[in-house]
Every structure is written in structure tokens, then in C-alpha cells.
């Protein structure tokens, strides 16, 4: 009887965890955090390009309220769906990346981040919150800058890398 109760509790916890980490349909979540991140991202870049999509990494953490809110916007906001329709997004867990040998240096910045994947499997440079704005379509910049501006701590100026005036 106790085993059945424990099994039920474990199942309920697993369901709750899966509900928290839900990502939009089509996002790639199969990285095992053991192989080379660069090699994995190069393969993902090639898959995206072959499908005529723009490849990005979405760096998230389940404890990060902004990450949860951003995932929610991706799944419920038609504007987000529209501007990211031509993308191939690879979701990577912030905490799990800490153990990866070739982890990106910007990991110290935090999450959420949306970062372009380069053809060699590296991630876009010159990014604050992962977005080198000069390479991102204007409609994507607009929705992301608006998202990050709403989450700024009141009374502070947070530079999210948005073009002048879009993040304050």
C-alpha cells in the first residue's frame, strides 16, 4: 500500500514538473548535456537551414519567473507566434548547461536568453540577454524588448541590449 502511495506521489510530481517545463510545439528539447554543445548546435543549425528556418537557442531555467513568463507568451501570444514562425528554437536548460564542458561564457548573465546559432555551432556574440539586435528582424526585436521592459525592476534602468529607447 505504501509503495502504491509513493508511486502516485512520484507520478503527480513528475506531471507537475513536466507542466512547468512545457515548451511550444516544434521546439527542440533533445540535448542530453553530455555530448559537445558546439557539435549538437552545429547539427541543429544545419537542420534549421535545410528547413529554411532561422536557428536560435532559448536558454531557460524553471526557477526563473521571466523564463516561465516568456514560454507562456510563446504559447499564448499570437504576436510571438507570428514573429517566431520562421524559427527553429533549441531549448537549453540553464542549470544543466553548467556541467557541459564547452558551455558558453555568457552563462554568467542568466536567463532567459534567445541567441542565434552560428553555422559553426557557436552562439551569437555581442549579446545582452542573448540578442545581437542588429541581426534580428525588427518585429522580433519589438516583442522581445517589450517583454523585457515589462519585467525590469521598478526604479532601475536595465540594459537588455535593445536598440535605443526600446527597453526602458
What CATH number should be reported for the domain holding residue 36? 3.40.30.10
Count of domains forming the chain:
1
- CA angle at residue 15 from 96 to 13, to 5 degrees? 80
pLDDT score, position 1: 62
121 is a domain residue: yes
Question: What's the confidence (pLDDT) of residue 90?
Answer: 93
Burial class (CB in 10 A: 0-12, 13-18, 19+), 143: middle
**Assigned domain for 2 exists:** no
Residue 138 forms part of a structural domain: yes
Q: Which domain holds residue 66?
A: 23-150
Q: Is the pLDDT of residue 19 over 60?
A: no
Q: What's the predicted TM-score (pTM) here?
A: 0.69
Average pLDDT score over residue span 8-15: 40
Q: Is residue 15 part of a domain?
A: no
Percent with pLDDT over 90 in the chain: 17
The vertex-38 CA angle with 36 and 42, nearest 5°, equals 120
Question: What confidence tier does 162 reach under pLDDT thresholds 50, 70, 90?
Answer: low
Amino acid at each position: 500500500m505504501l509503495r502504491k502511495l509513493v508511486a502516485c506521489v512520484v507520478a503527480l510530481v513528475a506531471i507537475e514538473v513536466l507542466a512547468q517545463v512545457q515548451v511550444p510545439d516544434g521546439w527542440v528539447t533533445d540535448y542530453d548535456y553530455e555530448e559537445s554543445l558546439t557539435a549538437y548546435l552545429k547539427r541543429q543549425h544545419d537542420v534549421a537551414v535545410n528547413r529554411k528556418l532561422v536557428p536560435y537557442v532559448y536558454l531557460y531555467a524553471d526557477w526563473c519567473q521571466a523564463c516561465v513568463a516568456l514560454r507562456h507568451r510563446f504559447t499564448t501570444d499570437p504576436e510571438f507566434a507570428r514573429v517566431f514562425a520562421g524559427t527553429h528554437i533549441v531549448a537549453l536548460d540553464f542549470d544543466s548547461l553548467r556541467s557541459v564542458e564547452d558551455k558558453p561564457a555568457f552563462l554568467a548573465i542568466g536567463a532567459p536568453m534567445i541567441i542565434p546559432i552560428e553555422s559553426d555551432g557557436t552562439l551569437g556574440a555581442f549579446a545582452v540577454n542573448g540578442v545581437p539586435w542588429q541581426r534580428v528582424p525588427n518585429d522580433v526585436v519589438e516583442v522581445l524588448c517589450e517583454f523585457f521592459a515589462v519585467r525590469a525592476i521598478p526604479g532601475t534602468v536595465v540594459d537588455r541590449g535593445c536598440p535605443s529607447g526600446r527597453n526602458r
